[in-house]
Structure 1
C-alpha cells in the first residue's frame, strides 16, 4: 500500500522531494503557502538559475558539521542532477568556473519543466496553504492557518529558511521543527552584502572595480576572494563579498571585530606599486596629486582616498613625500574597513544556520526525534557558497528524503 506523503513547501527541495517520492510509489500532496510553487527559484542566478556546479566539493558547504551533506550530495550528485533535468528538457550550459545554467539562461525554464512534471505525475498541489501546526500520533495531522487539515503517513518539511522572505521563507519552518522537538542553531544571512564603517561611502556609492577582498580577524587573514567589487551607500557588494559574508557575520556573531581589506590594485605587491608610483610621479611632477592618479584608479576613488590619508588633492607631485607615496601604495593594495553587519534577509541569497544536523539521519534526511518526519534543504544547518551549491543541496536533500519517505 502506497504511503501518503505530505510535503510542506513547494520550492526547489520540496518539488524534488515530491517527484522522487512519486517515482518510488508514494501518494503525494504539496502544501505551498504562495499562490504558486517555485517563487524563490525564479530569483536564483539573477534570473538565469545557476542550478548546480561541476566543481562541487564538500569544502563548498558550511555549518556546524558540513560533512553531514556528504552522503546526500554523493547519492544524488551533480551528474545525476544534470541528467535528471536534461530528461525534463533542460540543456545544460557549463561555464569555465563550473557553474551550470539552463541553455535558455532563464530560471523560468527550470520552473516550467518542474511544474509540468508535477502536473503530469498527478501530484496534488494545494497553494495558499500556510501550515500552522504538525501533530503526530500514529499518523501526521497537518493544520493550516485557515483551519483546514490533512492527514499523512510521512511529512517532509521543505519550507526554506529566512532568506528572501518575499518568496515565503519567513522562518515558519523553524517554528514547526521546534514544536516537534528539534533544536535550531542561530540563523543569520548568508551570501549577502556587507555594511562597513566609513565616512566616505556616500561618495564611493556605485564605484565598481576588479579587485581582491579579504576578511581579517585579529590581524589574521581568514578568507579572501577576487572579482567584481562594488562600493555602495551602506558598504560593499559584488560576488567576492557575497562569498565572504558568511565568514564575516559568523565572527561578528561571536563578538569578534571583523576587518575587510580591499585591494583596488592587486596585480602588484605593495612594494612594487610604491616603486611604480615614485617613477610615475617623478615623470609628471608638475601635476597635482588628484590629476596624477587619473588613469591609475577609478576617478571617484581619488578624493576619498586622499581624504583618508590626509593628503591635499592640490599638492604638486614634486612635493609629495616618500612616506605619503608609501601610504598611497598601502591603501591601494590594502584598504581597511570595519565590517559592522550586513543587509537584511530580503537581500540574502541563503540562510546560514538552521535545524541541528545531529538530529537528522544524513543518509535518509529522516528526523531522529520524530519517526516519519523528514527535513530538507535550507532549513537544515547546511549552506553552500555562491555558484549553484545551494540549489544542488536542495536537489540532493529533497531527492533523498522523497526516496526514503516513499520506500520505508
Structure 2
C-alpha cells in the first residue's frame, strides 16, 4: 500500500487518514497546530452538526456545480452516520440536522483521534509543510520539522476561514506551487455589512423575512428565515446562506443590494388589502398605534422615519401613495451591501483549488499523479447546516481510499 502523508489535521484530513490506514496504508498526518481538529470543536456552536439527512446537489457550491455531488454520492449522509456509529457516535436527529447524542463537538473529535490511535496513524503536530516536491515514484516534503518522503500525498490543509489558529492560505500556496489554478477565495457563511447609518437603531432585532441578493440589479441568491439586524448590517442563517454569492459579487466589484420582505407569506395585493382593512377597523389610530401587534417597534419606527411619516398621524388619513410607499418599505426593504465580514469571522470560504485540475471521481490532481485533495482547500462550499462537514467527510474518505489503493 505504501506511505500516505496527509497534510492537515482537520475534519477531512482525519477522515482521509482513517480511511487510508483502514485500507492498509502506512499513514502520517502532519498538522501545523499543537493538536488536530481544533476547528471541529467550534462547529454547531460547540455541538457539531456533523451532517444533514436532506441532501441534494443544490446544497453545495462550486464553479463546477456537478463536482461536489459526484464525491458526496460516494460517501453520503447514510455512510457518514454508519461511519460515526462504528466509531461510537450515536446520532441525535433534529429535523434532519444530526448531532452527537452528547451534544458535544469534542465527542466527534475524540472518536476520530481514538480511531487514528487504534490504526497506528503517526500524527506530527507543530509541523508545517512548506513545500511539496514531486520526485520519481513519490514526493519529498519540506516541513518545519525537517524533510521526509511520501509515496502519495493528500492535501487537506483547510481554508482561510475561521479565527482558529493556523487557518490561512497554506493549502492554496502549496497547490499553486505545483501549478494548480486557484479560484478567488472570499468569505462565506458570514455576516454582511451595509452602507446605511440606521442600523444601530435596530441592532439585535430579529424578524422572519425573505431575502434576495442583487448584483448589478440581477438576483443571484435568495433565502428565507429569521434575519438578525446588527449594528452594521444583516445576519442570521438566511444571510449566511447567501453571503458567499454576495462576497463573490463584491470581489468582482459589482453593486450589491439586499432586498428584505418582512411579510413574505402574503401576496402583494393581499397585503395592501390587509393594511386597508386594518385601517378601516380603527381609522383613528395613530401610525404608532397602528403597528402595535403587527411588527416590532424598532422596525416600524424605522419605516416611518424613512417614509417621512409622523408617528402621530392618523392611519385613516394616509393617501394611497403613502400607503403604497409604506408597504414597499415593509415588503421591498433595500439595503446596500458594502462588504462581507472577514475570513476570521467566516465559517467557510468560497473558492479554492480549481476543480478543473482535479479528477472528479478520485480527487487526484490532473497535474501531479499521486497528489490528492480533500476538504475546504478545494473550490467547494456548502450551505449552513452540516453540509460543509459532510463535504469534509466525503472528500476525506474518497481521497484517503484512492491514495491508499493507488499504485506506488
TM range (shorter): over 0.9
Structure 2 counterpart of 1:117: 115
**Paired residues for 1:2-401 under 5 Å:** 2-96=1-95, 98-138=96-136, 139-145=138-144, 147-401=145-399
Distance 2:38 2:372 in 1: 22
Distance across 1 between alignment mates of 2:359 and 2:222: 33
Counterpart CA distance in 1 for 2:18 and 2:170 is: 23
Q: Give how far 1:383 is off.
A: 1.2
Q: Report the secondary structure of 2:194's partner residue.
A: strand
Say if 2:62 and 2:68, in contact at 8 Å, map to a contact too. no
- Give the distance between the partners of 1:297 and 1:265, measured in 2 at CA: 10
- Aligned 8 A contact 1:271 1:329 in 2: no
Q: Is the 8 A contact 1:208 1:228 kept in 2?
A: yes
Q: Deviations over 1:238-284 (max 9, x none)?
A: 01111111222222333322221111122322322222222323433
- Secondary structure of the residue aligned to 2:352 is coil
**Offset at residue 111 of structure 1 (A):** 0.7
CA distance in 1, matches of 2:11, 2:343: 19
Gaps of 5+ in 1: none
RMSD between aligned residues: 1.6
TM-score for the superposition, normalised by structure 2: 0.95
- CA distance in structure 1 between the aligned counterparts of 2:328 and 2:69, rounded to whole angstroms: 42
CA distance in 2, matches of 1:87, 1:47: 22
2:286, 2:17 → 1: CA distance? 67
CA deviations on 1:370-400 (whole Å, 9 max, x unpaired) are 1211111111111111121111111111111
User: Residue 353 of structure 1 aligns to a residue in which SS?
Assistant: strand
Consecutive unaligned residues in structure 2, runs of 5 or more:
none
Count of residues in correspondence between the two structures: 405
Secondary structure in 1 matching 2:183: coil
CA distance in 2, matches of 1:284, 1:395: 58
CA distance in structure 1 between the aligned counterparts of 2:69 and 2:207, rounded to whole angstroms: 36
Query: What are the superposed Cα offsets for residues 171-216 of structure 1, whole Å, 9 maximum, x if unpaired?
Result: 1111111111111111101111111121211101100011211123
Q: CA deviation at 1:77?
A: 1.6
1:21-53 deviations in Å (ceiling 9; x for gaps): 001111111111111111111111222211112
Alpha-carbon distance between aligned partners in 2 of 1:66 and 1:134, rounded to the nearest angstrom: 29
How big is each residue's C-alpha offset from its partner over 1:72-105, in whole Å with a ceiling of 9 and x where there is no partner? 2122122111101011111122232x32222222
TM-score (norm 1): 0.95
Measured in 2, the distance between the counterparts of 1:175 and 1:6 equals: 18
CA–CA distance in structure 2, aligned partners of residues 192 and 296 of structure 1 = 29
